[in-house]
Structure 1
Amino acid sequence: MKTDIKHKGNTLFNKKILLFLLSQNISLFGSSVVGFAIIWYITLKTSSGLWLMLSTICSMLPQVVISLWGGVWADRYNRKYLIMLSDAFIAIATLGLAISFWAGFQRMELLLAVSVVRSIGSGIQAPAVNAIYPQIVPQEGLTKIQGINQTLSSVLMLLAPAVGGAMLGTMDIAWTFMLDVVTAALAVLIISFIKVERIERTDESTSVFVELKQGIQYTFRHPLLRGIVICYACSFFLITPAAVLTPLLVERSFGNDVWRLTANEMVWTVGSLVGGMFVALYGSFKDKVRTTAMCLVAFGITFGLLGMAGNFVLYLIIMGTSGFFMPIIATAQTVLIQENTEPTMMGRVFSIIQIIGASAMPVAILLFGPLADVVSVEIILIITGVLLALVGIAYERSNKKTSALQKDMQ
Structure 2
Amino acid sequence: IFAFMTQDLWLLLVIAVIRSFGNGLENPAANALLPQLVPAKHLTRVNGYNQILMAAMLVMSPLLAGYILSDLGIFWIFVVDALSAALAILFLSVVHVPTPSASHDRAAKRADGILAGLQYVRRTPILLAFMLFTGLAFILVAPSSQLSTLYVNRTFGSEVWHLTFNEWFWTIGAGLGGLYIARHKHFRDQLGLIAIGFAGSGLAFAEMGLPQSFSFYLLFMFVSGTFYPLIQAGQTIYLQENVPADKLGRVFSLWAILSTGIYPLAMLVYGPLADQVPIGRIFVVTGLLLIGVAYWFWHRLRKLSW
TM-score w.r.t. length of structure 2: 0.90
Aligned match of 1:127 in 24, 28, 34?
28
Residue type of the alignment partner of 2:291 = A
User: 1:232 deviation in Å?
Assistant: 1.3
After the TM superposition, which residues 154-173 of structure 1 pair with which residues of structure 2 at under 5 Å, given as runs? Answer: 154-168=55-69, 172-173=73-74
- Is the Cα–Cα contact under 8 Å of residues 177 and 225 in structure 2 kept in the other structure? yes
Query: Per the alignment, do residues 260 and 393 of structure 1 end up closer, same or farther by CA in structure 2, a change over 3 Å counting?
Result: same
- Is the Cα–Cα contact under 8 Å of residues 32 and 240 in structure 2 kept in the other structure? yes
Deviations 1:129-158, CA, capped at 9 Å, x for gaps: 111111111111111111111112212222
What SS is found at the alignment partner of 1:199? coil
Q: Distance in 2 between matches of 1:316 and 1:178?
A: 34
Is residue 47 of structure 2 the alignment partner of residue 146 of structure 1?
Answer: yes
Q: Distance in 1 between matches of 2:23 and 2:99?
A: 20
Is residue 109 of structure 2 the alignment partner of residue 216 of structure 1?
Answer: no
User: 1:309 deviation in Å?
Assistant: 4.7
User: 1:199 deviation in Å?
Assistant: 2.3
Match of 2:199? 297
TM-score w.r.t. length of structure 1: 0.69
After the TM superposition, which residues 303-342 of structure 1 pair with which residues of structure 2 at under 5 Å, given as runs? Answer: 303-342=205-244
Residue type of the alignment partner of 1:277 = L
Aligned match of 2:273 in 371, 381, 403?
371
Aligned match of 1:268 in 153, 164, 170?
170
What SS is found at the alignment partner of 1:289? helix
Q: Distance in 1 between matches of 2:71 and 2:165?
A: 17
User: 1:105 deviation in Å?
Assistant: 2.6
Residue type of the alignment partner of 2:35 = P
Aligned match of 1:111 in 5, 12, 15?
12
Residue type of the alignment partner of 1:161 = P
Gaps of 5+ in 2: none
User: 1:166 deviation in Å?
Assistant: 4.5
Identical positions, percent: 35
- Is the Cα–Cα contact under 8 Å of residues 169 and 258 in structure 1 kept in the other structure? no
Q: Distance in 1 between matches of 2:40 and 2:125?
A: 21
Deviations 1:252-285, CA, capped at 9 Å, x for gaps: 2222233322221111110011111111113622
User: 1:394 deviation in Å?
Assistant: 0.7
Deviates more, 1:320-329 or 1:249-258: 249-258
Q: Distance in 1 between matches of 2:103 and 2:284?
A: 50
What SS is found at the alignment partner of 1:188? helix
Q: Distance in 2 between matches of 1:261 and 1:170?
A: 21
User: 1:341 deviation in Å?
Assistant: 0.9
Match of 1:198? 99
Query: Per the alignment, do residues 402 and 119 of structure 1 end up closer, same or farther by CA in structure 2, a change over 3 Å counting?
Result: same
User: 1:326 deviation in Å?
Assistant: 1.2
Residue type of the alignment partner of 2:28 = P
- Is the Cα–Cα contact under 8 Å of residues 161 and 265 in structure 1 kept in the other structure? no
- Is the Cα–Cα contact under 8 Å of residues 293 and 396 in structure 1 kept in the other structure? yes
Gaps of 5+ in 1: 1-95
Deviates more, 1:306-315 or 1:228-237: 306-315
State the superposition RMSD in angstroms: 2.4
User: 1:360 deviation in Å?
Assistant: 1.6
The count of aligned residue pairs is: 305
What SS is found at the alignment partner of 2:33? helix
- Is the Cα–Cα contact under 8 Å of residues 161 and 262 in structure 1 kept in the other structure? no
Residue type of the alignment partner of 2:267 = I
What SS is found at the alignment partner of 1:282? coil
What SS is found at the alignment partner of 1:401? coil
